[in-house]
A and B are shown apart, each in its own frame.
Chain A
């Protein structure tokens, strides 16, 4: 492909990369300011329908899964690939390049302390240093002159590729995300204790997905700390295939369980009422009585010498759920009230109802409060159900990125030149170096070699 091609040079520019990164950042900021997906509902209801429609058509309530966000990501991926392809040959050339050992100009401005005098003659000293260099450095080369010699060695030439390792890792990460998006799913299922489910609701209203096995919740369990904070949520699950229990595992928060490649997470829980209805009487915070609900049932309230009778029992009164009508007979007179099971919801939907209709006030006969309840409560567990074949790929990408970071940030390409000049039966040794970055590290490297040369001198004398 021609590198003069305008499309190619558009994608090969780092400016484009920076613009794309800024656009992705801006979109992400927007995504944290505008409520997204399920959370968007209440926000949308406060907008005028026209504005809401415009925002919806721009996919601003689902930015991170919108077509234009994906487009930005695809552009970034293309940009990364083209940029890397464009620059790789230069890096390869730098990697393959074998610099001349005799670069006299390098030694012109080195500090005086990078030169030492050795007691051994030129030939012997050069041989010794060459061996030393070969042990520690790569690409060691030598050039002998009549009264001088040059040695060259380098290390960290792989550092030329660090950037490509990081960019490849980003592409691997993106590939993993795409694979998860295409071949994975995310769903939810609520299972009451003792019951089974063989299908899950897909996230974002995407219908249901049936599983080729059933999950049974044998037990749901909550434990609390002394101060009332929750300590453990746990579901004991059984996986049933062809009518047979294949696996039984507990699922806790932070400890999901995998069955047939699908992971189950403890995500939620709740209670559903079941069993016979009962009438509960409380005084302050104290529960003083519970009575089975049935027409004609009578009980006493000792504190007020009152006698209570259930005169009507309705399954669903005026569409407001189960209700019981009480007749309370006391020395002060006679009172009748309706007790609803769903009193809280009714109260929320119709604020001020109790003030308007004392007939519906469960605490009319002070100090007692009546409520309807059910004898048993049953827990249900809320499980999140996931399958994401992209996870191992994403993990590989993360690992490769860390390797790239090590290469780019914590290693550098260092070149060392040594010049040896004959001074009679002694030798003058000068050391120079170059590095693609990290001048401090290079200086340390040069000092190390100076020390090695001096040590050599001492051991020889």
Chain B
């Protein structure tokens, strides 16, 4: 199908964008950064087109549904949200150094979707449990939240890179100097986490409403539900530590990384645990 062909090209385009961002960071030449932005924009445009085509194709097959219904489609949408959010931030903050850390996650998600033999790219009809109006809202909000947490994670990595500069200032490479100042990073981490936290909360709530209609209970302590709560608690702890105990900088970066590990377990790890939520 044409959409999967486009999507496998998008994987390649995102890799190219990542490579350009990396070259920009190492060489310090902004031309590479501009190329990287152009590549990421082309990738996002192609990916959006492919998602719309996939949506249309599903209707032509008579099993129409938004392309958010299985692991393949969720990985594609995950990567789409990451790149869309990143490009928005690049435009707002006028800084490209985040790209080196965020875009590879989008690329890996696409590569996993395209290459893993366990991930089927076929458009499948919806089983009865998924035939709900809440499917789209639930998946959409959850993945926008995951994307924001991914950005926070990448910013957390940058905080540690920036820390290297302080340890031996004379040998500091140009690429570390390109990373924004620590307080800007801290503010960006905070804003990304707030965005992710709000979306995750809405995601959990829409999921609960759906579960109320589908499974008869708004909360069943299914592993995915439980892990989404754990993720929510990790970020709740992070926000409280910042507000009340004044955590900044490295501590927030560590929390952003722990939070992201929890997101990955919620998203992919729980498929290895038995439960109602596992992708088939």
Contact = CB atoms under 8 A, between A and B. Distances in A.
- Interface size range on A against B: 35 or more
B230 A29 contact: yes
A151 to B, nearest CB: 30
A384 B216 contact: yes
Given A18-B237, A32-B223, A227 B125 contact: yes
B240 A254 contact: no
B22 to A, nearest CB: 30
Given A25-B234, A252-B128, A398 B274 contact: no
A364 interface: no
A355 to B, nearest CB: 34
A256 interface: yes
B-side interface mostly = helix
Interface in B213-241: 213-219, 221, 223, 226-227, 229-230, 233-234, 236-237, 240-241
B172 interface: no
A32 B244 contact: no
B26 interface: no
Contacts of A330: none
B131 interface: yes
Contacts of B229: 28
B131 A24 contact: no
A125 B245 CA distance: 45
Interface residues of B, number: 41
Contacts of B201: 401-402, 405
Contact of A398 (B127, B205, B226): B205
A107 to B, nearest CB: 25
B87 interface: no
A102 to B, nearest CB: 31
B31 interface: no
Contacts of B210: 254
Contacts of A14: 240, 244-245
A409 B198 contact: yes
Contacts of A402: 201-202, 205
B132 interface: yes
A290 interface: no
Interface string A372-395: 000000000000101010010010
Nearest to B135: A254
B173 interface: no
B52 interface: no
Interface in B178-212: 194, 198, 201-202, 205, 208, 210, 212
A229 B124 CA distance: 9
A113 B245 CA distance: 35
Interface string A1-18: 000000000000010011
Contacts of A255: 213
B273 interface: yes
B216 A186 contact: yes
A409 B221 CA distance: 28
B264 interface: no
Contacts of B237: 18, 21-22, 25
Contact of A265 (B215, B244, B245): B215
Contacts of B198: 405, 409
Contact of A409 (B124, B194, B213, B233): B194
A25 B213 CA distance: 27
Interface string A259-294: 000010111000000000000000000000000000
A105 B194 CA distance: 33
Interface stretch (A207-215, A230-238, A346-354, A412-420): A230-238
Contacts of B243: 163
Interface of A: 14, 17-18, 21-22, 24-25, 28-29, 31-33, 35-36, 39, 64, 163, 177, 186, 225, 227, 229-233, 252-256, 263, 265-267, 384, 386, 388, 391, 394, 398, 401-402, 405, 409
24 contacts: A17-B240, A18-B237, A21-B233, A21-B240, A28-B226, A28-B233, A29-B230, A32-B227, A32-B270, A35-B274, A36-B221, A64-B221, A64-B226, A186-B216, A227-B125, A229-B124, A231-B128, A253-B131, A254-B132, A267-B215, A391-B212, A394-B208, A402-B201, A402-B205
The 5 closest A-B pairs by CB, nearest first: A253-B128, A265-B216, A32-B223, A384-B216, A14-B244
Given A33-B273, A386-B216, 8 more contacts: A28-B233, A163-B243, A232-B128, A252-B128, A253-B131, A254-B210, A263-B216, A398-B205
Interface of B: 63, 124-125, 127-129, 131-132, 194, 198, 201-202, 205, 208, 210, 212-219, 221, 223, 226-227, 229-230, 233-234, 236-237, 240-241, 243-245, 270, 273-274
